[in-house]
Structure 1
Amino acid sequence: MSQEAFNGLVTIMDELREKCPWDRKQTIRTLRQMTIEETYELGDAILEEDWSAIKEELGDLLLHIVFYSKIAGEQGQFTINEVISGITEKLIKRHPHIYPPEEGMKGLKEVRSEEDVKQNWEALKLKEGKKSVLSGVPRSLPAVVKGMRLQEKARQVGFEWHTADDVWKKVAEETAELEEAVAQQSSEKMEEEFGDLLFALINYARFLKIDAEAALERTNKKFINRFTKMEESAAGQGRQLSEMTLEEMDAIWDRIKTEES
């Protein structure tokens, strides 16, 4: 982005904040949910590899960054220039293998791979005052994404399984514990063990280099597509799914699966 283009966006934000009743009314709290929605829209575009949509959604997120900074400036907190300076300084500090390290930042692991970079990144954050390697994981993250991030963070300090087979054994162990909880019909225990099983499966996906969140979303979309086709097939017979037996619906479902393959 050219300086002229960025300045143009900042100027428009200034004008909207002054002249538009809706923009003038917004606060960091009212913007929060919209920012989350924009982020998910970007996530959808990325999964679809829709570059046109990715460009549009990145623009929307950039607007939100400028918007928050404008509100912060009005309240004497910080400016957009300070936001940019802050991330610039952080990137330089967090990449001592590229930029000469500051005093007190020496003694880090020599960088030979992507993993070395990640481990140094976590070590530097602790030097900066973070009390735990897990402290950077947002509490409001969706549970599957949070599970992935927690495991990745723990890995950077060596808390990690040795092989995928080890993780699969843990999946089997958690499955057995869930089955035992189901046999006991303890709601609280079933929920706990189900969560443990999901966490183990997310770990296994990580070892297979699979994005667990993307994999589940792919299955969600596949289900939506097949279910919608099933509704259309029923409508073609002048019927609704609620009027069909499970066996009839299964037959349509299996036909749709066969057609897809």
Structure 2
Amino acid sequence: MNQLIAVVRQLRHPETGCPWDLQQTPTSLIPYILEEAYEVVHALQQEQPAAIAEELGDLLLQVVLQSQLAAEADQFTIADVAQRITEKLIRRHPHVFGTVELTTAEDVRDQWEHIKASEKGEEASLPLSQKLHRYARTLPPLIAGIKIGERASRSGLDWPTISGAWEKFYEELAEFQEALLKGEPSQQAAELGDLLFSVINLARWCQLDPVQALQQTYQRFIQRLELIEAAIDRPLEDYSLAELDALWQQAKQQLEGASEAEQPEEPPIEQR
């Protein structure tokens, strides 16, 4: 760790450092923080330890680099960053480092939110709408939708059964279709947002991660396209829609067959 900090410090040396690194600012590095975070997620999903370690290193570099920029501006150091998160973890886990007794993950989550609110000077009775504003401001839209749905549900703003979530989905789908026919862009966008939020809530009821599901869909789309491009001898634009559809179905079947082949054989009944 010390070596990494020293390397980053050298990269930022005003006389002998790297020209690219010397040009960076805290805001110019924001895209790299996001990119590296998603690279970590991808490596974790692939369950490849070597890739995970590498991508975590790339993300750690962004932490060290931001801390170096802050140290140069006499704001804080990497030691301050480590000390603050250590203190926060101890402070927000009194059931581990103190005398509080908690037994469920839900209790821990509620306690975390209560302590967090106290630290930020927020009243326990802060309106739910103000709490949800934080998610909408600071998180990517899809993740914000998940958090908002979960938090609203814990406050009683939810259907008693999943049938309510399904009814809401079909209601929003019909309203979106109607808005498309009227041709009013602002209303169309509003109804599309409502429809997407209803899908996110359905995923919550089904205990599915919509972010992961969408990422897997992107990956399948790209894999099918790769198979098509490997099988054709002309640009995609030279093929008719019917031809492309046939190639698409063929690629889909090929991938599904490969996926089934990778599944372990089911043991005989007497061995189950």
**TM over 0.5: same fold?**
yes
Unaligned runs of 5+ in 1: 1-5
Q: TM-score, normalised by structure 1?
A: 0.84
Describe the shift of the 1:117–1:184 C-alpha distance in structure 2 as closer, same or farther (beyond 3 A): same
- Could you say what secondary structure the match of 2:27 adopts? helix
CA–CA distance in structure 1, aligned partners of residues 229 and 23 of structure 2: 44
Residue 13 of structure 1 aligns with which residue? 8
CA–CA distance in structure 2, aligned partners of residues 135 and 190 of structure 1: 23
One of 51, 54, 57 as aligned partner of 1:53: 51
Describe the shift of the 1:194–1:179 C-alpha distance in structure 2 as closer, same or farther (beyond 3 A): same
C-alpha distance after superposition, 1:56-77 (max 9, x if no partner): 1111111211111122122121
Contact residue 119 and residue 157 of structure 1 kept, 8 A: no
Q: RMSD across aligned C-alpha pairs, in angstroms?
A: 2.2
Query: Does 1:243 find its partner at 2:238?
Result: yes
- Could you say what secondary structure the match of 1:27 adopts? coil
Amino acid at match of 2:9: D
Q: CA deviation at 1:249?
A: 1.6
Residue 172 of structure 1 aligns with which residue? 170
Q: CA deviation at 1:218?
A: 0.7
Q: CA deviation at 1:140?
A: 5.6
Residue 121 of structure 1 aligns with which residue? 112
CA–CA distance in structure 1, aligned partners of residues 22 and 244 of structure 2: 52
Unaligned runs of 5+ in 2: 257-272
Q: CA deviation at 1:135?
A: 4.8
Contact residue 118 and residue 156 of structure 1 kept, 8 A: no
Describe the shift of the 1:96–1:154 C-alpha distance in structure 2 as closer, same or farther (beyond 3 A): farther
Q: TM-score, normalised by structure 2?
A: 0.81
Amino acid at match of 2:46: E
Residue 35 of structure 1 aligns with which residue? 33
- Could you say what secondary structure the match of 1:137 adopts? helix
Amino acid at match of 2:144: K
Q: CA deviation at 1:138?
A: 6.6
Q: CA deviation at 1:224?
A: 1.2
Describe the shift of the 1:158–1:81 C-alpha distance in structure 2 as closer, same or farther (beyond 3 A): farther
Contact residue 178 and residue 194 of structure 1 kept, 8 A: yes
Task: Flag as ranges the 4+ runs of structure 1 deviating above 6 A.
Answer: none
Contact residue 133 and residue 154 of structure 1 kept, 8 A: no
Residue pairs, 1:82-231, within 5 angstroms:
82-100=80-98, 111-128=102-119, 129-130=121-122, 132-137=130-135, 139=137, 141-231=139-229
CA–CA distance in structure 1, aligned partners of residues 117 and 185 of structure 2: 39
Q: CA deviation at 1:136?
A: 4.2
Residue 3 of structure 1 aligns with which residue? none
Residue pairs, 1:72-83, within 5 angstroms:
72-83=70-81
Amino acid at match of 1:111: L
CA–CA distance in structure 2, aligned partners of residues 180 and 156 of structure 1: 32
- Could you say what secondary structure the match of 1:78 adopts? coil
Q: State, as a whole percentage, how many aligned pairs show the same letter.
A: 39
